[in-house]
Structure 1
């Protein structure tokens, strides 16, 4: 029995490692599709998890915004949150992090917002996390897995390369490179 338990435990650890390295599949299962305007983040007007209005103006005044697309169902997303919270508090003035709760069905999804608030509180995250409106939901349909992190300049242009998986060191490299 002890040997069976050990094998099961090792299997779970291996499975978790794969999840952490690659991220969770997007809930809707859609394959990535290139769009004609994939280099621009869509204009939007939605709310954050606290119900405050947020628009694409959130990008203005920052040279770079790290956009972390995550889901309340995704263990790697949740596990990287404390590190993202610490990093957000240490970022230079011309950079910021925002999150998009990808499994929210829209700005009025109270249940997913409540789950996100619990996760963010437990992780000591203070940066803005939005619930997607229709335009952001359409944009998210092109995301293969979560977490996926993209980088946006002050004009809403997507810059650099997206990072799929919980790879905070890679996020930091891109920000450092861009701010040089």
Structure 2
């Protein structure tokens, strides 16, 4: 029964991503959130970049934790016009655990932990984790999200980023080596 529920949850997320990811109907530009380091981040901050990559993860999620070092390395290699942020879906009350996971992985980027009603609405994308979505400067989701841990995170993310940038009429990127 538990496996059936997990399968149905994953299937639901895939359908949501398939239906909203391609249509650009997701509105992510009007939220305000607090960050793990005590700062704040909003949709306006996303508007400063050509593309924002948002990875949703949890401290309880083994695949999320396993891919975090690759995610950290990927974030450091991105050019200035593309940013990667994370959203820890269970950070409230687990702040120290989240910090430990991120520190161990070497992730130095922005992690969102709580926010206003618009931020809480955005969390509905994360019915299964890890999931990564791609947001343009206008707050609209571009293309399909990436669900689950990736064997070739760099290749999968770079392909999705370049596809999104192309849809925005922006130049493709390559990673700094």
The TM-score, its normalising length taken from structure 2, stands at 0.74
1:142 Cα offset (Å):
4.0
Please tell me whether the aligned partners of residues 42 and 136 of structure 1 are also in contact (alpha carbons under 8 angstroms). Answer: no
Between the aligned partners of 2:104 and 2:125, the Cα distance in structure 1 is 29
- How many residue pairs end up in the alignment? 149
1:172 Cα offset (Å):
1.7
Please tell me whether the aligned partners of residues 49 and 114 of structure 1 are also in contact (alpha carbons under 8 angstroms). Answer: no
1:171 aligns with 2:157: yes
Between the aligned partners of 1:55 and 1:139, the Cα distance in structure 2 is 12
Please tell me whether the aligned partners of residues 101 and 131 of structure 1 are also in contact (alpha carbons under 8 angstroms). Answer: yes
Between the aligned partners of 2:57 and 2:25, the Cα distance in structure 1 is 19
Aligned to 2:88: 101
Correspondence for 2:103 among 121, 124, 131: 121
Determine which structure has more spread, i.e. the larger CA radius of gyration.
1
The TM-score, its normalising length taken from structure 1, stands at 0.73
Aligned to 1:20: none
User: Which sections of structure 1, spanning at least 5 residues, go unmatched?
Assistant: 1-24
Q: Secondary structure at the match of 2:142?
A: strand
Between the aligned partners of 1:97 and 1:160, the Cα distance in structure 2 is 16
Aligned to 2:41: 54
What's the Cα RMSD here? 2.5
1:132 aligns with 2:119: no
1:151 aligns with 2:134: yes
1:138 Cα offset (Å):
2.3
Please tell me whether the aligned partners of residues 47 and 53 of structure 1 are also in contact (alpha carbons under 8 angstroms). Answer: yes
1:88 aligns with 2:81: no
1:139 Cα offset (Å):
2.4
Between the aligned partners of 1:94 and 1:142, the Cα distance in structure 2 is 24
**Superposition pairs of residues 73-84 of structure 1, within 5 angstroms:** 73-84=60-71
1:93 Cα offset (Å):
1.3
CA deviation map 1:133-176 (0-9, x unaligned): 23222222243310000000111111011110012232221112
User: Which sections of structure 2, spanning at least 5 residues, go unmatched?
Assistant: 1-5, 166-170, 173-177
